[in-house]
């Protein structure tokens, strides 16, 4: 009589639904909300992380209005320059705040936080989207402070409240698209310092080679040609037209939205893929 040895079948490996296609929209939104709350609590525990959003608009507007305003707009025309530079600086706020996203993502990997998220049954994109949502909140805080300082220095809205909100919304949409670029940098470079260094190399030419701070008519021909295709120039011109009621609105607005959509379509999938593969 022979005895058969029964061996239990090997336990099936648990498959975590890490692909967005396996997670419903409602669950995905719930995950994003939980991660947004986690990131917001991080800011609450570390209020110094808001210093750039709070102090940067104050320092920059005072610096440019009182140091460069007289030279650009003429002595005694500071109020005129305020109405020129504040809409342009709304474009600058989005780019500077976006830079912090890449450094934050890179630092979270260094701390092992992202490794923990990747073991959880959540969509990979929800981790990055939550980062963007919180940074958009910081961007809106910086924009509100910038506008508040602008009103103190004589900013006048020559159109209406709806146009002002449209300018803020346009800057927010474009800022969100830029964040995907800096997230991709944060996932690709080895250290937060490297992310900041490369980001500055991107930011400085785009900001100063644009119509944010000064009209482009006095620039050399080659630089003026660059400013015409610079998305920050189009965003600054659109915001200026919406707030001051002078200049075309449709063309720079459509160009800015086209840049925002194009940047997001290209960099967002690359960032999510890099997030999945980074070790």
| Residues whose CB is less than 8 angstroms from the CB of residue 12 and which lie 6 or more positions away in sequence, other chains included | none
Q: How many CB atoms lie within 10 A of CB 204?
A: 10
Q: Of 4-8, 20-24, 54-58, 234-238, where does mean pLDDT reach its minimum?
A: 4-8
Yes or no: say if 99 and 193 are a contact pair by the CB < 8 Å rule.
no
The alpha carbon torsion through 108, 114, 115, 116 (nearest 10 deg) reads: 110
Location of structure tokens 């940098």? 185
pLDDT above 90 as % of the chain? 37
pLDDT, tens digit (0-9, with 9 covering 90-100), for 87-117: 989 888 888 888 888 888 888 787 777 777 7
Assign 3-state DSSP to the chain and report helix, strand, coil percentages, each to 5. Answer: 80, 0, 20
Of 278, 213, 275, whose CA–CA distance to 240 is shortest?
213
| Residues whose CB is less than 8 angstroms from the CB of residue 199 and which lie 6 or more positions away in sequence, other chains included | 99, 102, 103, 182, 185
Helices 78-111 and 51-63 meet at what angle, rounded to 10? 150
Query: What does the pLDDT average to over 233-259?
Result: 93
Q: What is the residue extent of each domain of the chain?
A: 24-277
């Amino acid at each position: 009589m022979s005895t058969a040895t029964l061996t239990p079948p090997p336990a099936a490996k648990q498959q975590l639904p890490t692909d967005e296609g396996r997670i419903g929209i409602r669950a995905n939104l719930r995950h994003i909300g939980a991660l947004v709350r986690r990131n917001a609590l991080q800011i609450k525990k570390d209020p110094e992380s808001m210093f750039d959003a709070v102090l940067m608009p104050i320092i920059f507007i005072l610096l440019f209005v009182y140091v460069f305003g007289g030279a650009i707009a003429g002595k005694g025309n500071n109020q005129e320059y305020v109405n020129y530079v504040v809409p342009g600086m709304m474009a600058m706020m989005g780019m500077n705040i976006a830079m912090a996203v890449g450094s934050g993502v890179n630092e979270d990997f260094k701390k092992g936080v992202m490794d923990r998220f990747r073991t959880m049954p959540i969509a990979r994109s929800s981790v990055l989207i939550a980062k963007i949502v919180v940074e958009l909140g910081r961007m809106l805080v910086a924009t509100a402070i910038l506008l508040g300082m602008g009103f103190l220095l004589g900013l006048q809205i020559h159109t209406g409240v709806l146009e002002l909100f449209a300018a803020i919304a346009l800057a927010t949409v474009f800022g969100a698209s830029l964040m995907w670029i800096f997230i991709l940098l944060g996932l690709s470079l080895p250290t937060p310092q490297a992310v900041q260094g490369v980001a500055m190399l991107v930011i400085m030419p785009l900001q100063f080679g644009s119509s944010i701070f000064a009209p482009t008519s006095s620039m050399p021909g080659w630089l003026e040609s660059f400013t015409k295709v610079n998305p920050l120039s189009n965003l600054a011109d659109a915001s200026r037209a919406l707030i001051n009621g002078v200049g075309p609105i449709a063309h720079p607005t459509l160009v800015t939205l086209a840049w925002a959509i194009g940047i997001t379509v290209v960099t967002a999938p690359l960032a999510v893929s890099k997030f999945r593969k980074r070790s």
